Structure 1
Amino acid sequence: MNEFKTASMDGTTKMITIVIVLFLIIFPILSFSFDPPKPIISITSMILMYGVIIISYCFVPKRIALSDNQVLIKNLYGSVIINLSDIQSFGKIEKTGLNLRTFGVGGLFGYFGYFNGGDVWYVTNTHKKVKIILNSGKVYMISPESPDDFLTHLKQRMEE
């Protein structure tokens, strides 16, 4: 089994993450200084906003692995297993382009969830995307640190 490190965040993703995290941390703290004080609102906003940070971070893929017959994408919520026999095509996507987030996280620690309708993304770096299209038409986007290395290994496994 080959393990591939998840790509580090690109500059835009880092900037979005820094801005959003600072806002989500600072705003609830500042809300305690509102006049008149509303501690219930302040505490609730703190719980919600800190929860957003934690929930979003848990979507980051902790492991991308390639076995003899499967691709594994694992984050803290669970695993996605793609059988190599189900893969129709795959390739590197270098351009970022315009993508519509249907449901998911759009920039905080990366891009995770459903984009462009039904594409499933586990992307931390928009410049290192690998697109996997299944026979069913379902699309997965991942971002290993070395997309070329991942694609070379995937191609070898598909030819076996």
Structure 2
Amino acid sequence: MSFGHEIYVSKASMGLSVKILTSIVFLLVAMLVLASIHFYFEDRFSSEVLAGILGIAVCIIVVPYMYAPKMYVLTHRGLVIRRILNDIFIPYSEMKNVDIISYEKQSTATDIKLWGSSGFYGFFGQFKMIKLGYVNLYLTDIKKCLLIEKVNGEKYIISPEKPDMFLRIIKGYMKLRGRERTMQTYEPAYSLIKLYMELG
């Protein structure tokens, strides 16, 4: 599926806290695998048990990686959160508000993860946060957070490498989309020129 012409691309780089949490999980899984192999050679585990443990270990490592954000892409149509499985697309026309936020100030110890990851490869999935309500997290660095609120009330938090640049481009396109809603066709090149004029 085409999400439009790419305008700006940012990697979903891991921040320090995510790197630490991810390393800890890898270490624990490696210890589990090594211990299981050791017990197998001591005839304390059957081959079926070893295969089951190895299968679980692979799932723990691979499945979250497939759904973790890998890149954030701004096109002439909207924001694309790139993942190995199932990219997420948010059109500019559906965005109500965009702001840079402090994740540390918005998150609390009583926030609830409904599904997803709480630090392994990043923070992604759906969370119920005390201060923000239901939020879809797709971030890998808690120091660089951008909150996107849609017209329907849905909220997303991402972490591009340059949140300020993302904010300027998104707001510029939100203005353009608002002005061009009455147009029958949408001209990417025309809109890009208009955006550059808006951003100076």
* TM-score, normalised via structure 1 length: 0.91
Counting only pairs closer than 5 Å after superposition, residues 45-64 of structure 1 correspond to structure 2 as 45-64=53-72
1:6·1:124 contact (CA, 8 Å) conserved in 2?
A: no
Question: 1:75 and 2:87 equivalent?
Answer: no
Alignment partner, residue 150 of structure 1 = 166
1:29·1:46 contact (CA, 8 Å) conserved in 2?
A: no
Alignment partner, residue 184 of structure 2 = none
1:32·1:38 contact (CA, 8 Å) conserved in 2?
A: no
Q: CA deviation at 1:21?
A: 0.8
Gaps of 5+ in 2: 1-5, 177-200
Question: 1:112 and 2:112 equivalent?
Answer: no
Gaps of 5+ in 1: none
2:69·2:138 contact (CA, 8 Å) conserved in 1?
A: yes
Cα distance in structure 1, aligned partners of 2:134 and 2:50: 37
Query: Any idea what SS the aligned residue of 1:4 has?
Result: strand
Structure 1 pair 52–141 and aligned structure 2 pair: CA distance change class (3 A): same
Cα distance in structure 1, aligned partners of 2:158 and 2:103: 14
Q: Pick from 96, 99, 102: which aligns with 1:91?
A: 99
Count of residues in correspondence between the two structures? 160
Alignment partner, residue 13 of structure 2 = 8
Question: 1:30 and 2:38 equivalent?
Answer: no
Cα distance in structure 2, aligned partners of 1:152 and 1:51: 39
Partner amino acid, structure 1, of 2:9: F
Alignment partner, residue 150 of structure 2 = 134
Alignment partner, residue 48 of structure 2 = 40
Of Structure 1 and Structure 2, the greater helix share is in 2
What do you get for the CA RMSD once the two structures are aligned? 1.6
Q: CA deviation at 1:124?
A: 0.5
Partner amino acid, structure 2, of 1:106: S
Cα distance in structure 2, aligned partners of 1:2 and 1:101: 33
2:67·2:86 contact (CA, 8 Å) conserved in 1?
A: no
Larger radius of gyration: 2
1:28·1:46 contact (CA, 8 Å) conserved in 2?
A: yes
Deviates more, 1:96-105 or 1:140-149: 96-105
Query: Any idea what SS the aligned residue of 2:161 has?
Result: coil
* TM-score, normalised via structure 2 length: 0.74
Cα distance in structure 1, aligned partners of 2:26 and 2:97: 37
Q: CA deviation at 1:7?
A: 3.6
Cα distance in structure 1, aligned partners of 2:12 and 2:83: 14
